C-alpha cells in the first residue's frame, strides 16, 4: 500500500506563497542546510504526484519545463486541461482517487502544492505523514498553509530538525 505524504514549506506566519503567488522568499534563501532532507532526495522516492488545479495553473504560469517527467502525475480538477505541460491524468472524485492511490504499491505519493487539496485528504484520513519546512520569514499575507475548515486532528511529531539559520523541519504522522 502506498504512503501518501506531504512535503511543503511555509513562512513563520503560515503562508506558502506571498500575495502575488511568488515563492521568491523561499527559493532565494541561502541560509538553509537541507542535507538529507533536500527536495532532490525526497522527489527520488516519489512515484506519483497529486496536485490540485491551482498548483497546475501556477506551474503553467511559471513557464518552467515539466518537472515531473519521472513520476505519474494526477491533477484533481473538474475542468479540462488543454495542451497539458507534460503527461498527466485528471481525476474529479477525491474519494475514488484516495482508494486508487491506496491500491498502489510502486512507491510513495506526494500531495504537491497548496493546502486545500492536502486538507481534503487530511479530512478523509488519507494523508499519512507531512514534512513542513518552517522558513525564518514573515510574509504578512498570502496563501495560507491550510485553509480554515474547522477540522481538528491531533498529530504525532516524528522529528524536528534545525536546518541552519533559515528553517526548521517538522515531520508529523497522522496515524
**Residue 30 pLDDT grade (very low, low, confident, very high; cuts 50, 70, 90):** confident
Q: How many domains does the chain have?
A: 1
Task: Report the pLDDT value the prediction gives residue 91, as an integer from 0 to 100.
Answer: 97
How many percent of the chain have pLDDT more than 90? 86
Task: Report the pLDDT value the prediction gives residue 33, as an integer from 0 to 100.
Answer: 87
Q: What is the dihedral of CA 55, 67, 24, 164, to 10 degrees?
A: 110
Radius of gyration of the chain (CA): 16
Task: Report the pLDDT value the prediction gives residue 64, as an integer from 0 to 100.
Answer: 86
For residue 166, what is the DSSP state? Answer: S
Q: Span 55-80, mean pLDDT? A: 94
Q: CA geometry: angle at 112 spanning 111 and 115, to 5°? A: 80
Q: Span 29-46, mean pLDDT? A: 91
**Residue 83 contacts by C-beta under 8 Å, 6 or more apart in sequence?**
none
Residue pointed to by grid coordinates 536546518: 163
pLDDT tens digits, residue range 95-109? 999 999 999 999 999
CA distance 153 to 147: 14
Q: Span 70-84, mean pLDDT? A: 95
β-bridge partners, 173: 129, 156
Which residue range(s) make up the domain with 49?
A: 4-173
pLDDT tens digits, residue range 111-148? 998 888 999 999 999 999 999 999 999 999 999 999 99
Dihedral class, residue 162 (left if φ above 0, else alpha if ψ from -120 to 50, else beta): beta
CATH code of 116's domain: 3.40.430.10
CA distance 132 to 117: 15
Amino acid at each position: 500500500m502506498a504512503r501518501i505524504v506531504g512535503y511543503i514549506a511555509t513562512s513563520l506566519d503560515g503562508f506558502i506563497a506571498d500575495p502575488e503567488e511568488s515563492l521568491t522568499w523561499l527559493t532565494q534563501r541561502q541560509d538553509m542546510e537541507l542535507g538529507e532532507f533536500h527536495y532532490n532526495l525526497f522527489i527520488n522516492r516519489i512515484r506519483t504526484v497529486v496536485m490540485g488545479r491551482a498548483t497546475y495553473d501556477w506551474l503553467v504560469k511559471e513557464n518552467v519545463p515539466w518537472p515531473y517527467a519521472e513520476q505519474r502525475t494526477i491533477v484533481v480538477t473538474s475542468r479540462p486541461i488543454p495542451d497539458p505541460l507534460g503527461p498527466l491524468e485528471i481525476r474529479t472524485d477525491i474519494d475514488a482517487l484516495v482508494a486508487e492511490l491506496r491500491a498502489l504499491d510502486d512507491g510513495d505519493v506526494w500531495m504537491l502544492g497548496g493546502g486545500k487539496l492536502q486538507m481534503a485528504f487530511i479530512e478523509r484520513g488519507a494523508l499519512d505523514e507531512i514534512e513542513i519546512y518552517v522558513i525564518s520569514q514573515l510574509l504578512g499575507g498570502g496563501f495560507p498553509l491550510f485553509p480554515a475548515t474547522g477540522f481538528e486532528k491531533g498529530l504525532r511529531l516524528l522529528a524536528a530538525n534545525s536546518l541552519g539559520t533559515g528553517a526548521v523541519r517538522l515531520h508529523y504522522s497522522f496515524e
